[in-house]
């Protein structure tokens, strides 16, 4: 049961434009979400997170939006840069007492063209 | 502060052998989680250790095991290797107090089973 889904395996944008990466979830118990970026031959790097008590969190060029009613979140990157080309994963931990167990989406390969 | 260190970076083994992977967490982090990444299954949670105790376990066969030492360093062992065990094995550490603690990943160990 894939509780976190990223339906777009790939996304290509021009440098300077906005990149929007989407993520859907089915488990209504999820109340915290994270985005990670992964380059080849490296481990995932934490980017930004959002708690379910918020609908938006911003950090520099990165903004994450959460729509709880739709069980949908999105990561906006503005402006996109070639160095942003990587695989992006959304992830959710399972509850307060279940320790550090992340459920990941399948990932979206972002390519930013110069 | 040093990041999460995984050794070795690459391993080649044959079917039926066993393998041990090592992970040194960020200083002060008490939780270590292990994940398997394959092209078909994505990032899958293996298990988590906190204060030398396994706190969570994913849906993997008993051939996959781990342990954590008093200095929070962790090892993962896979016995009787199968071709399907070929994957990138990622270790992540976090403070470990609650599930919302951010997990920081190592670069991974690439295991090839021939």
Q: What are the pLDDT digits (tens) for A36-94?
A: 999 988 899 999 999 989 999 999 999 999 999 999 999 999 999 999 999 999 999 87
Chain A residues within an 8 Å CB radius of B94: 100
Q: Which residue of B has its CA nearest to A44?
A: B105
- B16 burial (CB, 10 Å; 0-12 / 13-18 / 19+) is exposed
Contact A43 B100 (CB under 8 A): no
Confidence of residue B92 (pLDDT cuts 50, 70, 90): very high
Substitution target from B24, B25, B43 for chain A, most A beta carbons within 10 A = B43
Out of A1-10, A56-65, B3-12, B70-79, pick the least confident. A1-10
Q: Which pLDDT value is given to residue A97?
A: 56
Chain B residues within an 8 Å CB radius of A42: 107-108
Q: Which of A31, A71, A26 is nearest to A51 (CA)?
A: A31
Confidence of residue B96 (pLDDT cuts 50, 70, 90): confident
Own/partner pairs, B2-5, CB within 8 angstroms, 24+ separation: B2/B26, B2/B27, B3/B104, B3/B106, B4/A43, B4/B91, B4/B92, B4/B93, B4/B104, B4/B105, B4/B106, B5/B106
Confidence of residue A108 (pLDDT cuts 50, 70, 90): very high
Q: Does A14 touch chain B (CB under 8 A)?
A: no
Q: Does B111 touch chain A (CB under 8 A)?
A: no
What string of H, E and C letters represents the secondary structure of chain A?
Answer: CCCEECCCCEEEEECCCCEEEEEEECCCCCCEEEEEEECCCCCCEEEEEEECCCCEEEECCEEEEEECCCCEEEEEECCCCHHHCEEEEEEEECCCCCCCCEEECCCEEEEEEC
Q: Which of A102, A89, A111 is nearest to A45 (CA)?
A: A89
Q: Which pLDDT value is given to residue B2?
A: 79
In tens, the pLDDT along B41-53 reads 889 999 999 989 9
Can you give the C-alpha Rg of chain B in angstroms? 13
Q: Which pLDDT value is given to residue A96?
A: 54
Q: How close does chain B come to A89, measured CA to CA in Å?
A: 9
Q: Does A97 touch chain B (CB under 8 A)?
A: yes
Q: Which residue has the higher pLDDT, B100 or A101?
A: A101
Q: Which pLDDT value is given to residue B7?
A: 97
């Amino acid at each position: 049961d894939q509780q976190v889904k990223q339906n777009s395996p790939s996304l290509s944008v021009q440098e300077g434009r906005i990149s929007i990466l989407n993520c859907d979830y089915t488990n209504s118990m999820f109340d915290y979400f994270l985005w990670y970026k992964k380059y080849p031959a490296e481990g995932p790097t934490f980017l930004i997170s959002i708690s379910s008590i918020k609908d938006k969190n911003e950090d520099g060029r990165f903004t994450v939006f959460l729509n709880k009613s739709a069980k949908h979140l999105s990561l906006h990157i503005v402006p996109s840069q070639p160095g942003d080309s990587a695989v992006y994963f959304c992830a959710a931990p399972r509850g307060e007492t279940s320790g550090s167990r992340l459920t990941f989406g399948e990932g979206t390969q972002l390519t930013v063209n110069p | 502060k040093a990041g999460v260190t995984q050794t070795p970076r690459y391993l080649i083994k044959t079917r039926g052998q066993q393998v041990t992977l090592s992970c040194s967490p960020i200083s002060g982090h008490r939780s270590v989680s292990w994940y398997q990444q394959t092209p078909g299954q994505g990032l899958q949670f293996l298990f988590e250790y906190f204060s030398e105790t396994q706190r969570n376990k994913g849906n993997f066969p008993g051939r996959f095991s781990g342990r954590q030492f008093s200095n929070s360093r962790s090892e993962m062992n896979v016995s009787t290797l199968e071709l399907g065990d070929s994957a990138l094995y990622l270790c992540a550490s976090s403070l470990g107090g609650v599930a919302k603690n951010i997990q920081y990943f190592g670069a991974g160990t690439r295991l090839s089973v021939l």
